[in-house]
Structures are given as structure tokens and as C-alpha cells.
Amino acid sequence: MQQSAEQKIAVYPGSFDPVTNGHLDIIERGLKLFDKLIVTIMFNPSKKSLFTVEERLELLEKSLEKFSNIEIDSFSGLLVDYAAKQKARAILRGMRAISDFEYEFQMALMNRRLNREIQTVFLITGTQWIFTSSSIIKEAARFGGNISSMVPPAVNEKLKKKLSTFY
């Protein structure tokens, strides 16, 4: 099979507040489908985040340092515009449960209407991460729960430090 000269690029957007092992699962599997992933923090000023965008970028860099074909970025605006600017063919999205489907489906249809050249690719999260979300992890950590098996080591340490200043 002949290799195409055009690199297959996908954008994997999220708030990553913080990045979890479920996110890493989607990233690792996405790298089997694409030559390059751009993992990007979607900046939403109306959403209250525990970590700043700069902290989340740093945590992503530490958590993804073993990968050479990943770019880490942040943006504000329309996702399809960002993807087109990055010459991405696809938007990669992870789904944990059926409850994610309706929202993700609506977003994929809107993105498709805005730019028919960019596809949305859904990956179902690995079964061990189905009930894992950044919100649930933050809540467990806030009350002293052991979340070390759910997040990369750098995130675990940063969460402990960050939450110790609140309580």
C-alpha cells in the first residue's frame, strides 16, 4: 500500500480540566488512526475551571511527553474554523456513555453544516473509563478520594496541591 503524501491530522478538543486517563486512552487510540493529533484546550470564558489554560497546557505537555506526533494548543472560537486552519481532516471526540451521544451528535451535525470537509470521528472510551470524567475526578479529589489510577501522575500531584489551598 502506497503512503499518501498528505498527513492525516485530527483535532482532539476538550476542556481537559484536568486531563484524565480516559482522555489519554482516546489520544493513544486516535494516534492509530491519524498521523498527527492536535490536542487543544477549548477556551470558554463562561465556564468555571479549576485550572487556568496555562496550567492545563502544562499538564497536557507533561502527560503526553512520550508522544512525538502530538501538538498541544488552545483556542477560542469555532472548532471547525480552527480545524481548517490547522489543515485537519477530522475532529476526534470520545464518548463514554449514551448520555454523551445527543450533545455530541448535535455538535457533529452543526460542524458538518459549517464545513463539509471536516469529519467528526467518535471513539468509545475504554470500559475502565466509562464513568470517569474530569468533574467526577475533581469532586472525589476535593474530598480526599484516591484518584491516582484515574489521572496521569503530574495531574494527581497538581490536583492535590491545588485543592489543598481551598480547604
Cα–chain-centroid distance for residue 62?
14
Instruction: Please give the order of strands across the beta sheet that includes 70-75.
Output: 70-75, 36-42, 9-14, 90-95, 119-124
Catalytic annotation, pick one of 56, 63, 134, 138:
134
Q: Where are the domains of the chain?
A: 9-132+140-164
Confidence of residue 2 (pLDDT cuts 50, 70, 90): very low
Is 49 part of the annotated catalytic residue set?
A: no
Q: What is the pLDDT of residues 19-35, one digit of tens each?
A: 999 999 999 999 999 99
Confidence of residue 165 (pLDDT cuts 50, 70, 90): low
Catalytic annotation, pick one of 56, 96, 138, 158:
96
Q: Which stretch of 21-30, 128-137, 141-150, 153-162 has the lowest confidence by average pLDDT? A: 128-137
Catalytic annotation, pick one of 4, 32, 46, 47:
47
Angstrom distance (rounded) from CA 136 to CA 159: 13
Q: What does the radius of gyration of the chain's CA atoms come to, in whole angstroms?
A: 16
pLDDT at residue 3, rounded to an integer: 46
Sign of CA dihedral 149, 155, 157, 158: negative
pLDDT at residue 131, rounded to an integer: 81
Catalytic annotation, pick one of 23, 93, 138, 158:
23
Provide the H-helix boundaries in 7-152. 21-30, 53-63, 79-85, 98-114, 134-142
Is 32 part of the annotated catalytic residue set?
A: no
- Confirm whether pTM is higher than 0.85: yes
What is the arithmetic mean of pLDDT over 58-68?
95
Is 113 part of the annotated catalytic residue set?
A: no
Is 56 part of the annotated catalytic residue set?
A: no
CATH top-level class of 9-132+140-164 = alpha beta
Angstrom distance (rounded) from CA 6 to CA 23: 26
